[in-house]
Amino acid sequence: MKNKVAIFIGSISDEEKMSPCSEVLSSLGIPHLFTVASAHRTPERVQRLIKELEEQGCKVFICAAGMAAHLAGAVAAKTIRPVIGVPLTASALGGMDALLATVQMPPGFPVGTVALDSGGARNAAWLAAQILALEDQEMAQKIRQARQKMIEGVEKAGADLESRFSKNPS
């Protein structure tokens, strides 16, 4: 099956923070590519991958990088498909540099930006799934079911906590 989503990380050191993205996509049955492609060190690879993936029908690109974090912008410059940026903490600036580099794109070249690190990685996958669900009712149903499980988990946790610590005055 062709990859519907591509995850590009700027460095192999970003794998741990971004693996939750791949895990969410896998849990939803979304075929995807997870690879290293650096905007600065391998710009030709980035360009080649975008072209190949688009030809194969890839719908969404997820890009994660720290520090200067130009990867998402470099991808957005080469595709009209949705690009989701995940800024990563990788310097003394605590990810602020990556966040600003990811969100401050010129008009006409948007990057949808999520939170930093593994939380952002998960939400990038969910956002990609929602984009795919626009044209895929089966995916929409999978998202609804997953959200229902989340709701049930919160309700169960609340009930468990209440039963252990709440006291009714007599």
Distance CA 106, CA 92 (A): 26
At CA 83, angle to CA 81 and CA 86, rounded to 5?
165
pLDDT exceeds 80 at position 6: yes
Model confidence band, residue 170 (pLDDT cutoffs 50, 70, 90):
low
Cα 147–chain centre separation: 17
Predicted confidence at residue 158, as pLDDT, reads 96
Distances, alpha carbon 155 to alpha carbons 147, 158, 160, in Å: 12, 5, 9
Show binding-site residues for substrate.
Answer: 11, 14, 41
Query: Quick one: DSSP state of residue 106?
Result: P
pLDDT, average across residues 30-43? 98
Residue 48: pLDDT above 80? yes
Give dist(CA 78, CA 169) in Å, integer. Answer: 65
Q: Which CATH class is domain 5-134?
A: alpha beta
Looking at residue 169, its pLDDT comes to: 65
Confidence band for 81, pLDDT divided at 50, 70 and 90: very high
Q: Which positions make up the binding site? A: 11, 14, 41
Residue matched to tokens 């600036």? 93
CB 5 within 8 A of CB 32: yes
